[in-house]
Structure 1
Amino acid sequence: MSDAEKGGFLAKVIGPKRRWREYKARREQLPENYRTAVEAIERYLMHFVPTDGDSNASMFEDLADLFEQAAADGTPIREIVGEDPVEFAEAFVENYSEGGYAPTRERKRLTDAITRAADE
């Protein structure tokens, strides 16, 4: 895959690079347990087939908005994602794309990461 093809693929998956960098910077500013939860959800969402880069960029920006507001309000992580983080993530992604396939292993990985973040 050429550099141009890689850049096109990356833009399709994460959206424009500037927006992705801004999102990552926002994610890094979150308190550690909220950041852990966002990173777990982000990792899970990456398994969904994107429809376009702008939709994905918006999805991650909205995820940052949600967790920034929750952190500011002191909302517990479980109040955000509920008892089933897979259900939360799959419902969240439905607003942005037609979705894709998330393997069972990734569902367990997300659930375990949210449990650790909520317990911190």
Structure 2
Amino acid sequence: MSDVEKSGFVSKVIGPKKRWRAYKGRVKELPENHRAAVEAIERHLMHFVPTDADSNASMFEDLADLFEQAAANGTPIREIVGDDPVEFVETFAQNYSEGGYVPPRAKKQLTEAVERAADGEDAATA
């Protein structure tokens, strides 16, 4: 794959680089456990490539909005994602694309990562 092809693929997956950097900066400012949950969701969302870069950039920006508001309101991660993080992410992604096939291993990794983030949040508030 040439550099031009890679650049086009990357833009389709993450959207315009300027928006991606802004999104990553916002995520970096989240409390540690919220950031860990967002990063796990982000990795999972990479399996859902929308039809255009703007939709994908909007999807990540909306994810940051959701977690920023939750952190500001003191909303626990479990209240955001519910009992099934995979279901949450797949439903969330459907708002932006038709989604794609996600291997069972990726679903398991998401569930485990969100559980660690939520458990860490519970330990911090105890």
Shorter-chain TM-score above 0.5: yes
Asked if residue 8 in structure 1 is aligned to residue 8 in structure 2, the reply is yes
Q: Distance in 2 between matches of 1:47 and 1:112?
A: 17
Task: State TM-score, norm by structure 2.
Answer: 0.93
Distance 2:36 2:92 in 1: 17
Q: Which residue of 2 aligns with 1:35?
A: 35
Tell me how far apart the structure 2 counterparts of residues 49 and 21 of structure 1 sit (CA, whole Å).
Answer: 18
Q: Which residue of 2 aligns with 1:50?
A: 50
**Partner of residue 68, structure 1:** 68
One-letter identity of the residue aligned with 1:97: S
Alpha-carbon RMSD: 0.7
CA distance in 2, matches of 1:2, 1:114: 35
Hey, which bits of structure 1, 4+ residues long, moved more than 6 A?
none
Q: Which residue of 2 aligns with 1:118?
A: 118
Secondary structure of the structure 1 residue equivalent to 2:41: helix
TM-score, normalization: structure 1? 0.98
Q: What is the rounded CA distance, in whole Å, between the counterparts of 1:66 and 1:119 in structure 2?
A: 19
Match of 2:101 in 1: 101
Q: Using the TM superposition, give the Cα deviation of residue 3 of structure 1 relative to its aligned residue in structure 2, in angstroms.
A: 1.4
- The structural deviation recorded for 1:91 is 0.3
Secondary structure at 1:47 match in 2: coil
- Could you list the runs of 5+ residues in structure 1 that have no partner in the other structure? none
Amino acid corresponding to residue 77 of structure 2 in structure 1: I
1:48 CA drift (Å): 1.7
Shift of 1:28: 0.5
Query: Is residue 21 of structure 1 aligned with residue 21 of structure 2?
Result: yes
Residues 44 and 106 in structure 2, CA contact (< 8 A), matched pair in contact too: yes
Asked if the contact 2:40/2:113 (under 8 Å) is kept, the reply is yes
Aligned pair count reads 120
- Cα deviations across residues 20-77 of structure 1 (Å, max 9, x unaligned)? 0100010111000000000000000101232111000000000000000000000000
